[in-house]
Amino acid sequence: WRSHPEDESEVSRRAAARDLDGLLVSVQEALDLSRTPVPRAARGPVVRRSQDRPLVRLVTALRDDHRLQELGERMLAPLIEHDLARGGDLLDVLAAMLAHPGNRTAAAQASHLSRSVFYQRLALIGDLLGADLDDGETLTALHLALLVRRSGVR
C-alpha cells in the first residue's frame, strides 16, 4: 500500500501465500507492481492485482537470473547513455508509449510533450535502438527491459 497526493491510495494485491517463500514472492510482486505507472484515467484508490500484470510477475520470478538484468541493460543502453549525456527523457517517452499502447496521443500527453515532439523522440528512440517500434516482439522486449530496470533487479 502506498499513499498518493490528493488522498488517493494504491493497493497491490497477489494471491495468498502458503509458506515463507510464497510470502516473500508476494511482497516482491507488490513492490514491483507499485513501481509501475498509475493508469492516467484512474480516479480514487487504485487496486493492482499481480495476475493482471504477467510481465511484472515474470520479472519477479526471474529476478535472481543475471541474464534478465543483462538483457535490460543491453537493450536500453543506447537510451540510458543518450539521456545521461544530454539530460534527455527518452526512457520516459518509451515508458509512456508502452503505457498507452495504440494511443500515441495519450502517450504524448502523459509525457507532457506535443505530439510532434513526441513523434520526433520516438523516431530518435527507434534510430538509437536500431529497432522498429511498431513491432510487437520489440515492444514486448522493451517493456520487459523497462520493468527489469524499474524493479532494480541485480
pLDDT digit string, tens, across residues 9-29: 455 555 666 777 666 666 666
More confidently predicted of 59 and 4 = 59
pLDDT at 29: 66
Looking from the CA of 72 toward its CB, the CA atoms found within 13 Å total: 20
Q: How far apart are CA 57 and CA 50, in angstroms?
A: 7
pLDDT at 71: 86
Mean pLDDT taken over the chain: 80
153 has a pLDDT exceeding 70? no
More confidently predicted of 14 and 112 = 112
Q: DSSP code of 89?
A: -
Mean per-residue pLDDT for 49-64? 70
Mean per-residue pLDDT for 103-119? 95
Domain locations along the chain: 2-61, 66-151
Q: pLDDT, tens digit, for every residue of 68-90?
A: 888 889 999 999 999 999 999 99
pLDDT at 7: 44
pLDDT at 128: 98
31 has a pLDDT exceeding 70? no
pLDDT at 95: 94
pLDDT at 141: 92
Which triple of cell numbers denotes residue 63? 529476478
Q: How far is CA 8 from the centre of its chain?
A: 21
